Amino acid sequence: MIVDTQSDVTVLEEKGESALVEKKGKRVYVPRAVIQDGKVDDAVLDAGIPHGLPFEKMVNVQIDNAALAKALRDMGIYTKDDFMKNFGAIQKRFHRAMNAELKKLIQEVEANG
């Protein structure tokens, strides 16, 4: 016996015979006719036309845990108290480290968006 499951969706836009719906941050276009009381069959959602950029496929952020630990210790961060007192500096260090990854993401968006 096959059981169809349905999910609650938010209808963001309706245009002609299609609708842009969102479920847990994922947006897809589906036929308007398949939306019943704010629900859509999961199979229809899976087959919907994706809306937006596939960020998950565009970026592959990796952190070297040993390098991170060394950087924190180099900053004098050893304890929870050290960490909390220096959170702003730690955040700035992370932002600098992630800048290269952000540049890669921007290039990917420009090339494939």
| Confidence grade of residue 6 (pLDDT, cut at 50, 70, 90) | very high
- Give which of 64, 62, 61 is closest to 108, Cα–Cα: 61
For residue range 59-83, what is the model confidence (pLDDT) as tens digits? 787 778 888 898 899 999 999 999 9
Domains in the chain: boundaries: 6-52, 57-112
| Confidence grade of residue 98 (pLDDT, cut at 50, 70, 90) | confident
DSSP 17: T
13-17 average pLDDT score: 96
**What was the pLDDT predicted at 2?**
57
Among 4-13, 30-39, 100-109, the range scoring the smallest mean pLDDT is 100-109
- Mean of per-residue pLDDT scores for the chain: 90
- Residues of the chain with pLDDT > 90, as a percent, come to 61
State the Cα–Cα distance between residues 87 and 77, nearest whole angstrom: 10
